[in-house]
Amino acid sequence: MMAQHNSYLKIMETYVRILLYVTACRSADISYMRTTIQDHFSSIRHHQTNHTYKESAKTFIYQEFRRFGLATEFQNFTTNNIAGSNIIGILKGKRFGTLEDRIAGICAHYDTVSVSSGVDDNGSGLAAMLEVARRASTLERQNTVLFISFDFEEDYLKGSEVFVSQWLPRFLLTNNNTDPLRSANQTNVHGFYVLDTIMEYNTSARSQKFPPSLTEKALMTYFSQLYNDLVADNFQGDYINSIYRKGVDESLQNALTRAWQSLPDPAFQMEGLPIPVSDWNTIFASDFNELLRSDHSNFWKYHYPALFLTDSGDYRGDMINCYHHACDNTEIMLTDDNLKFLGKQADALFCSLQYLDDCETPTNAYAPRGCPYFPMLMMTILLLVLI
């Protein structure tokens, strides 16, 4: 009976921790994100047209990672004889360096095209990533989280390619005794959330468009929930797209969905786009290839789970005209609604990390996979009362 009682206490401890996480989820610092974008990600960050500002942004990200207590490093590389640098921050969990550690990550590129200030693309993703890192660093955690800011996303995704093909397998082999040649579902990796162009929130009718390859028939066939919601809302661009592969990236999507549903502000919605095939080459050769337009593509190519968050860039509202153009700036993009929309995403990502930390760890015998917050919590309380 005593052993059974101790088991229930451990279950209770897990769910109390989850309740604290849920409470902490609802506290994104909108002011920090606004100031961060205004002061550090509001001008061109391109190696030719504004090298100085790009270097300043890179230094700021590195310093913020250090300020948050992350083990921080540059991954330097060259592309077309031009120097590039990824910035990597490691938030070590209790299981760091062991087989039990299960890595999760949040990524956002910091470069821009040559003519754009890149407030939405991708100052928004950077601000959300830094806000999650700031908050996650204040909590004790079991598993390690990587925060990565990629260079040269706008140059054929080069920064993420060298990270995924070189830095990541070496890190896993060195710190987690993981054979990088094994398949993704055998490695100690939850997966990576990739944030790219995530701030455009638009409630105008018909403000949401789609690539030509994603016809109305394709939407109805493969993304029926999204299509039905869009028809009901007259194709408003009032949601964030969560793009993932069925059967491979679903644990990331499940965590994010549950986190999103626990948060207020129902006007800010999330729509899942589950791609029905998992092989990168098959996706590339299909009508889904438009959904490979950011750094998540390299994670998929190298067989790591990843989920892509985006407002859809040049297929929505102001960004139809401003994507990769000068009007992707603070005057157009840094509105109160856009920042609140960004804040909900930061909240959901933070909560997803905590959710994965407690509920998706295979060795946590006291946290059943899926870990539904309140039903399981109330059942646990009832059992404690009965014994």
| DSSP structure string for 299-342 | HHHTT--EEEEE--GGGBTTHHHHTTSTTSSHHHH--HHHHHHH
CA 58 – CA 335 distance, rounded (Å): 25
Q: Is the residue at 359 inside a domain? A: no
Q: Model pTM? A: 0.89
Q: Is the residue at 90 inside a domain? A: yes
Residue 369: the pLDDT is 37
Peptide bond into 122 cis (omega under 30): yes
Count Cα neighbours of 260 within 13 Å in the Cβ-side half-sphere.
21
Tokens of 217: 């028939």
Q: Is the residue at 137 inside a domain? A: yes
Residue 1: the pLDDT is 56
CA 178 – CA 359 distance, rounded (Å): 22
Residue 374: the pLDDT is 41
Tens of pLDDT along 7-54? Answer: 555 555 555 555 555 566 778 999 999 999 999 999 999 999 999 999
For residue 73, the SS3 value is: strand
Place of tokens 């896993």: 172
Residue 258: the pLDDT is 95
Count of structural domains, the chain: 1
Range of the domain at 324: 30-351
Q: Is the residue at 381 inside a domain? A: no
Q: Is the residue at 124 inside a domain? A: yes
Please say whether the beta carbons of 92 and 140 come within 8 A: no
Number of H helices, E strands in the chain: 15, 8
**287-296 per-residue burial string, b: 16 or more CB within 10 A, e: under 16:** ebeebbbbbb
User: Residue 1's CB: how many other CB atoms inside 10 A?
Assistant: 6
Distances (CA, A) of 189 to 135, 224, 287: 21, 30, 28
Q: Is the residue at 382 inside a domain? A: no
Give the domain CATH number at 190.
Answer: 3.40.630.10
Residue 363: the pLDDT is 38
CA 156 – CA 80 distance, rounded (Å): 11
Q: Is the residue at 338 inside a domain? A: yes
For residue 318, give every residue at least 6 positions away whose Cβ sits within 8 Å of its Cβ, in sequence order, or none: 200, 202, 327, 332, 333
209 CA to centre of own chain: 23
Tens digits of pLDDT across the chain (387 residues): 555 555 555 555 555 555 555 566 778 999 999 999 999 999 999 999 999 999 999 999 999 999 999 999 999 999 999 999 999 999 999 999 988 899 999 999 999 999 999 999 999 999 999 999 999 999 999 999 999 999 999 999 999 999 999 999 999 988 866 655 554 444 689 999 999 999 999 999 999 999 999 999 999 999 999 999 999 999 999 999 999 999 999 999 999 999 999 999 999 999 999 999 999 999 999 999 999 999 999 999 999 999 999 999 999 999 999 999 999 999 999 999 999 999 999 999 999 999 999 764 433 333 333 444 444 444 444 444 444
Alpha-helical (H) ranges within the chain are 2-25, 30-40, 51-67, 125-136, 158-162, 168-176, 216-222, 224-232, 250-261, 280-284, 296-301, 319-322, 330-333, 336-359, 373-386
Q: Which residue type is seen at 336?
A: D
Q: Is the residue at 344 inside a domain? A: yes
